[in-house]
């Protein structure tokens, strides 16, 4: 390659096939990473909006039976918090149908159902995080491997030369360093996105755990006030 023709495109085209393969792999990972970032960005925004809408409705004074009926009818469009509420109410009503009147049994059953639903919802919300973490931690090393291989390949080619100058060394070294640059280009956005999403998901989890405690307290008050509560108000 002409020492003066050192554009990124020419550096990639003249790199060894191993370095080119590393670059292609890293570019593919980068595209997948950005796709996961945008999907997670929109999904978290939707989760927050749905949770806020349901919580606003929950505290508006609507009856628990009406909220439960609405949650069952709109199960596919419901947010995580609404599905957690529906799980707790479903278990509570099932236990009531079995003529169970012990307040502790009713409350424990509802809480267990809500905790199980909470864990399922968090598994969905946390999807793609492990992929972003892997991209952020592995991509720089893959790029470094490409760079080391490219430098080894370049110096092997210099062995047959009688005179080695900076103009002959620079293109080969530059070709190899492109792999590290692409590795960092893949890793940096993934790390930033992972940290941002991890914080947002922690807030969502805390918000939903707080709701579970608040709803449990409402059921407990109802059970304390009525031997056979109708679960019709809060």
Whether the pLDDT of residue 87 is over 70: the answer is: yes
* Residues 92 and 110: beta-carbon distance below 8 Å: yes
Interhelix angle 64-73/80-97, rounded to 10 degrees, is: 120
| Residue 162 DSSP class | S
Residues 8 and 4: their CA atoms lie apart, in Å, by: 12
| Residue 61 pLDDT greater than 90, yes or no | no
Quick check: 215 and 88 in contact, CB under 8 A? yes
Helix (H, G, I), strand (E, B) or coil at 187: helix
- Comparing 176 with 130, the larger pLDDT belongs to 130
Please name the residue that has the structure tokens 């978290």: 44
Q: Which of 136, 177, 196, 152 is nearest to 23 (CA)?
A: 177
pTM for the structure as a whole:
0.79
User: In this predicted model, what pLDDT tens digit does every residue of 17-37 receive, in sequence order?
Assistant: 787 888 899 999 999 999 999
**Segment 48-55 mean pLDDT:** 94
Where is average pLDDT lowest: 33-37, 72-76, 152-156? 152-156
* Confidence check: pLDDT of 7 > 70: no
Distance CA 145, CA 189 (A): 20
Report the pLDDT averaged over residues 129-141: 94
């Amino acid at each position: 390659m002409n020492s003066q023709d050192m554009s990124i495109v020419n550096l990639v085209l003249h790199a060894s096939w191993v370095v080119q393969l590393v670059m292609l792999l890293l570019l593919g990972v980068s595209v997948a990473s950005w796709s996961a970032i945008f999907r997670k960005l929109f999904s978290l925004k939707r989760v927050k909006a749905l949770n806020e809408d349901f919580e606003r409705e929950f505290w508006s004074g609507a009856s628990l039976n009406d909220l439960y009926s609405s949650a069952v009818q709109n199960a596919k469009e419901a947010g995580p918090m609404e599905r957690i509420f529906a799980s707790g109410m479903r278990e509570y009503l099932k236990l009531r149908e079995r003529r169970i009147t012990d307040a502790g049994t009713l409350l424990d059953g509802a809480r267990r159902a809500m905790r199980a639903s909470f864990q399922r919802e968090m598994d969905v919300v946390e999807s793609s995080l492990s992929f972003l973490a892997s991209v952020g931690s592995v991509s720089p090393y893959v790029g470094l491997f490409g760079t080391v291989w490219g430098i080894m390949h370049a110096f092997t080619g210099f062995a047959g030369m009688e005179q080695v100058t900076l103009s002959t060394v620079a293109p080969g070294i530059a070709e190899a360093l492109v792999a590290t640059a692409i590795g960092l280009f893949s890793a940096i956005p993934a790390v930033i996105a992972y940290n941002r999403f991890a914080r947002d998901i922690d807030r969502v989890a805390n918000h939903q755990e707080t709701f579970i405690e608040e709803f449990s307290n409402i059921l407990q008050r109802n059970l304390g006030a009525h031997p056979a509560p109708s679960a019709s108000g809060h």
